[in-house]
Amino acid sequence: MTSPARTIGRIALGSVLLLAGTSHLTFAREEFAAQVPPWVPVDTDTVVVGSGLVELALGGALVALPKQRVAVGWVVAAFFVAIFPGNISQLVTRTDAFGLDSDRARAIRLVFQPLLVVWALWSTGAWKAWRESRVSRD
């Protein structure tokens, strides 16, 4: 069982990812391209399209697969960790995108990426399931 708050949080996060994935493929494609680190050895547009498709899949899974929410939560959290270097790169390279046009704004944004990881783990019950599995092993 999951709480109503967690269910709302999971569906809200799924909706955010669906919107982000859609924006990768349409109206914010250039903004997302600005976040791809220059050291990534893949065509920038390929990275943007690929990450957009992944976000669509993850967002859809969060909304449509409640019985797999724990596993999906871990995958979503890992995705947020995997894209964090792009946010760091945006700060280091001083790349303007999404209205982040100062080092301060780009640095503040870095704080929010770990919050997305926490949101994914909390709203899916992944963290709780992990803690409970550790207690049952003891």
Per-residue pLDDT at 96: 86
Quick one: the chain helix, strand, coil %, rounded to 5? 80, 0, 20
Residue 138 confidence (pLDDT): 55
Q: CA angle at residue 50 from 31 to 126, to 5 degrees?
A: 100
The phi-psi region of residue 66 (left if phi > 0; otherwise alpha if psi is between -120 and 50; otherwise beta) is alpha
Q: Give the model confidence (pLDDT) of 101-115 as tens digits.
A: 899 998 998 989 999
The series of mean pLDDT values per 10 residues for the chain, 138 residues long, is 93 98 95 89 96 98 97 98 90 86 90 95 94 75
Question: The whole model's pTM is what?
Answer: 0.89
